[in-house]
């Protein structure tokens, strides 16, 4: 048993020893193989490194040769360019030498020609002097006298021809145009009937009783002071029974004050806070009223598609006057007149009506901005969508620019008709007298005018001339010159007719 165990142990030891031997041998073989593989890898890496080195050297050499060739080509090109430029400069230098030689030749020839011309000038001057002396001897007139005589004769002939042409042109125009224009204007005026509203600087507010005056004044006048401060309108309380007067030059502010006071009287509560409250309410109500008036005006004039801003300004015109004439009513009248005349002439009726209605649009705010109402109105209309023809008619109705269309001329004519018809406008006595004096002074400033009389409220001026200075041929020219001077120097509503009268009187006394 023990022997068997020992045999088994020995056998196991032998087996273990053999296994260990085999393992050591495998390790040695693997190490040997690894070393061989490593040596082989190193050798292969050295070979590849040598190949890479050799290839890199070849690439560098090739790149160097390529750069060298490129540089040589570029140097060759630059050398060729330089040679070309040098050849051009040589050619230009040769050309300049040729031109210089030609210039010297031309200078020499010009000098000869100048000398020849100078000799000819001397000969001409000598001949001219000889001829002048001969002419002075024949005519027995000096050079200056002959020139003056010639100019005087020419001036007389030109004046005569000009007067004759003016007279013939006016006669021809009058034969064809005067009658027709009068018929058109008369027809338009007959068909157009617009009420003339006269505005003043005061408004009257009725009261339910005289005791209301004390409440309007308030304790120590606080209510009336608050009212006048808020509205900017004077409140006049006098002995007029059951009424007070509002006074102010601004019609819109005066209307605001009237509405506010009417509301205060109806409400019965009058104190500074209530005044301010009702004033703000009246302002809103007036804005609505102005828009309604503008829409009503557009409907009455039969003009569509107006912007809200333009409609608002049309409503404001109801509170603006010009020489006592209500501008809104005046605009409606001009629209009707312009459209009627356009219809008679067969031109654009809608354009004439639209431009006539908007021609005084600038008067709604001309006191707020610098510039004429025509210029302001034209700018505003263009800004809010009106076409160029309407804008031009607005701008041209007071000749801010020269009228270029028939419609623009018709609007200007309708404006003059509406402004100048009897009762349309009112002027102060001082301005009226001053205008007549200026008119007569202007007419008498012309040579040959003896007297001048302004008649028909300044719508016509009759000029009496001296018959020995102004003949029948010159009277049309004098009338035209007076008209031009009136147009250039005077401001006047409507039109002014100039009548020149030439009269010869001979008196003898029998004894």
pLDDT of 326 higher than 50? yes
Local confidence band at 309 (pLDDT 50, 70, 90 cut-offs): very high
Distance CA 316, CA 361 (A): 9
Domains of the chain from N-terminus onward = 202-420 (1.10.3210), 429-502 (3.30.300.30)
Collapsing DSSP to helix, strand or coil, 163 comes out as helix
CB atoms near residue 12 (< 10 Å): 10
Highest mean pLDDT among 210-214, 306-310, 472-476: 306-310
Collapsing DSSP to helix, strand or coil, 443 comes out as helix
Dig out the tokens for 136 from the structure. Answer: 């002075």
DSSP 197: P
Q: What is the pTM for the complete model shown?
A: 0.47
Burial of 259 (0-12, 13-18, 19+ CB in 10 A): buried
Distance CA 445, CA 459 (A): 19
pLDDT of 395 higher than 50? yes
Contact between 461 and 495 (Cβ < 8 Å)? no
Highest mean pLDDT among 23-27, 91-95, 189-193, 353-357: 353-357
Local confidence band at 428 (pLDDT 50, 70, 90 cut-offs): very low
Higher pLDDT, 123 or 394: 394
């Amino acid at each position: 048993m023990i022997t068997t165990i020992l045999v088994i142990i020995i056998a196991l030891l032998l087996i273990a020893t053999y296994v260990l031997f085999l393992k050591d041998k495998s390790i040695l073989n693997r190490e040997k193989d690894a070393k061989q593989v490593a040596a082989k890898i190193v050798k292969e890496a050295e070979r590849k490194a040598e190949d890479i080195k050799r290839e890199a050297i070849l690439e560098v050499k090739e790149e160097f040769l390529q750069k060298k060739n490129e540089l040589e080509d570029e140097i060759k090109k630059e050398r060729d360019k330089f040679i070309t430029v040098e050849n051009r400069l040589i050619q230009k230098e040769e050309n300049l030498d040729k031109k210089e030689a030609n210039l010297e030749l031309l200078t020499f020839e010009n000098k000869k020609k100048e000398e020849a011309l100078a000799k000819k000038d001397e000969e001409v001057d000598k001949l001219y002097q000889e001829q002048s002396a001969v002419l002075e001897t024949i005519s027995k007139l000096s050079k200056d006298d002959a020139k003056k005589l010639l100019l005087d004769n020419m001036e007389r002939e030109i004046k005569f021809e000009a007067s004759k042409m003016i007279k013939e042109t006016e006669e021809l125009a009058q034969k064809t145009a005067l009658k027709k224009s009068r018929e058109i204007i008369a027809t338009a005026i007959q068909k157009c009937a617009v009420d003339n509203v006269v505005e003043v600087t005061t408004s009257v507010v009725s009261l339910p009783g005289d005791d209301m005056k004390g409440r309007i004044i308030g304790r120590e006048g606080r209510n009336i002071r608050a009212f006048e401060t808020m509205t900017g309108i004077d409140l006049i309380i006098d002995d007029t029974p059951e009424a007070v007067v509002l006074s102010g030059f601004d019609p819109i502010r005066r209307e605001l004050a009237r509405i506010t006071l009417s509301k205060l009287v109806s409400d019965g509560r009058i104190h500074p806070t209530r005044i301010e409250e009702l004033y703000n309410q009246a302002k809103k109500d007036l804005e609505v009223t102005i828009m309604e008036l503008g829409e009503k005006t557009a409907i009455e004039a039969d003009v569509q598609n107006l912007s809200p801003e333009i409609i608002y300004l049309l409503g404001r015109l109801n509170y603006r006057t010009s020489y006592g004439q209500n501008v809104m009513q005046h605009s409606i009248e001009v629209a009707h007149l312009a459209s009627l005349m356009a219809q008679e002439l067969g031109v654009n009726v809608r354009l004439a009506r639209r431009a006539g209605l908007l021609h005084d649009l600038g008067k709604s705010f001309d006191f707020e901005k610098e510039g004429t109402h025509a210029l302001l109105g034209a700018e505003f209309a263009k800004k809010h969508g009106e076409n160029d023809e309407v804008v031009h008619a607005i701008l041209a109705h007071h000749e801010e620019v020269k009228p270029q269309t028939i419609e623009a001329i018709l609007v200007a004519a309708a404006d003059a008709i509406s402004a100048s018809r009897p009762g349309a406008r009112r002027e102060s006595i001082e301005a009226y007298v001053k205008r007549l004096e200026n008119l007569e002074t202007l007419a008498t400033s012309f040579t040959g005018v003896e007297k001048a009389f302004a008649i028909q409220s300044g719508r016509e001026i009759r000029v009496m001339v001296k018959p020995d200075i102004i003949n029948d041929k010159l009277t049309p020219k004098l009338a035209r010159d007076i008209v031009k001077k009136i147009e250039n120097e005077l401001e006047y509503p409507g039109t002014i007719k100039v009548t020149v009268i030439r009269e010869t009187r001979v008196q003898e006394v029998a004894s």
